[in-house]
Amino acid sequence: RLPACIAKPWVKVSDYLGISPVINHAAVVLWNWRLIFPDKPFDLNNLATLFTFSNTLDESWFYLVTTAIEGFGGRAITAIMSAILAIKARNNQNLLIALKDISSTIVDINATLQRMHEKCDPYVFYWMVRPYLNGWENEDRLPRGLIYEGVDGNDENGNPIYRKYVGASAGQSALIQALDIALNIEHYPTGVKPRINGHCFMKNYTSENSCLRFESKFNNNHNNHNNNNNSNNNNTTQQYPSDENSIKLQQPYLYKIRQNMSGRHRKFLEDLAKVANIRNYIISQTSYDSNITTYSPDEDMEMLQGTNEIVQAYNECLNQMKNFRSKHLQIVSVYIVIQARRNNGNSHSNSMYYSQINKDEITSTKEVTSTKEVTITTNTTKVKTTTNKSIEVKGTGGTNLIPFLKQMRDETMAQEIQNPFE
């Protein structure tokens, strides 16, 4: 139970902000920083947190790395809007500039994310910080959720009403979701690989931004606090649905957690999805079609060269997003998966352990494998222990982390445009 003295003002403030009353990305990252030296520029080394749960530098650094990314990542939002305006004006030169700005910003995001290891110890994060970031939707200790006393009252049977919310997650960043929308990167429920007539349509799919197909169900569920019963959380996933209609009925996790964003950020993403057409425009400029790959020799070569550069710039944006997701996957492996497979956290033998994984592990493109006493890198796709016992590691939002993140990375590159001029 959450006492009324906490529950009532928390819900009221959250309603005003258009956000769920639970710990979230905005609370610990977007609204939890200050400049150490106000007369100095916004920079990771000039940031401090306003509060932490553990009173550790590790927790502060974990938040502040993301705060820095959100800060300068705003350049990408400006570039996205410039790209949309350039398309409206059919100004390919300005579109090229905007795409390069988006790409360079993601490069900076990746470089900043890579600094996570500098001041955030995986052991401290997992055992001392992460428990505070959990919500009460997939929490074993709160299987029914939490009662917000003085807010909801009782149901028709006289039983108290429980609320279930996912906890804080980097997936709640409007910046990263905006990049996905702008680049037309589509994400589906883990394990679902959409196909039409036996052929994967994701790479060549050119209809109007299809993330709109999920909005209806998201909006219907947004204010329903009791629609997340365990009966819907079975382990059976639909593989390769036979038609697109079955995909329309799905609701990706990334849409679900928008209820944990501030209302204005969520509205921005909804509006962006209605106007973002970068990929479709580029395809139209190349006369690209999955069944047509030849072009008239009479076409103007200068125009073709310009289109070629735009295709390359767009694909480079995708490549940098793939790099971002690879780095994120590495951090999750080191900070969560390996820690979850260790002991119960009672002994902190982390000095030697951490020294073996730090920067090299996080910057590597390989997966991390854990043994009982030492950490090594291999090309394996799973984290294993000496007992080869596999355990499912979930994120604070309840996702099965590794398959979820790997699929997001694959879906990113699925949107790559085949360059007909190479």
Mind spelling out the 3-state secondary structure of 43-82? CHHHEEECCCCCCCHHHHHHHHHHHHHHHHCHHHHHHHHH
- Residue 304's pLDDT is 60
Q: Is residue 202 part of a domain?
A: no
Q: Is residue 276 part of a domain?
A: yes
In this structure, are residues 297 and 322 in contact, taking their beta carbons and an 8 Å threshold? no
The pLDDT tens digits for 174-225 are 999 999 999 999 888 887 775 433 333 333 333 333 333 333 333 344 444 4
DSSP helix/strand/coil, 368: strand
Whether the predicted pLDDT of 114 surpasses 90? yes
Whether the predicted pLDDT of 392 surpasses 90? no
As a whole number, mean pLDDT of residues 294-320 equals 75
Among 28-32, 82-86, 205-209, the range scoring the smallest mean pLDDT is 205-209
Q: Is residue 166 part of a domain?
A: yes
Q: Is residue 225 part of a domain?
A: no
Q: Is residue 142 part of a domain?
A: yes
Measured distance CA(230)–CA(213) in Å, rounded: 25
Q: Is residue 363 part of a domain?
A: no
In this structure, are residues 123 and 350 in contact, taking their beta carbons and an 8 Å threshold? yes
Question: Which tokens hold the place of 1?
Answer: 């139970």
- Residue 138's pLDDT is 78
56: nearest Cα among 394, 337, 350 = 350
Q: How far, in Å, are 99, 104, 106, 135, 383 from residue 79 at the CA level?
A: 7, 10, 12, 34, 38
Query: 216-239 b/e with 16+ CB inside 10 Å = b?
Result: eebeeebeebeebeeeeeeeeebe
Whether the predicted pLDDT of 78 surpasses 90? yes
- Residue 350's pLDDT is 45
Q: How many domains does the chain have?
A: 1
Measured distance CA(254)–CA(173) in Å, rounded: 10
Q: Is residue 294 part of a domain?
A: yes
Band (287; pLDDT cuts 50, 70, 90):
low
CATH number of the domain that residue 65 is part of: 1.20.58.480
DSSP 200-267: E-TTT--SS-GGGGGHHHHHHHTT-TT---GGG--S----S-SSHHHHHT---HHHHGGGGS-HHHHH
Q: Is residue 386 part of a domain?
A: no
**What residue numbers does the annotated binding site cover?**
328
Q: Which residue range is the domain that position 50 belongs to?
A: 4-191+251-343+392-414
Band (255; pLDDT cuts 50, 70, 90):
confident
As a whole number, mean pLDDT of residues 387-415 equals 72
Name the residue with higher pLDDT: 173 or 387. Answer: 173
384: nearest Cα among 320, 324, 331, 340 = 340
Show contacts of 301-307: CB within 8 Å, 24+ apart. 304/421, 305/421, 306/92, 306/93, 306/96, 307/92, 307/282, 307/421
**What residue numbers does the annotated binding site for heme b cover?**
328
Q: Give Cβ neighbours of residue 40 (< 8 Å, ≥ 6 apart).
A: 46
242: nearest Cα among 189, 198, 186 = 198
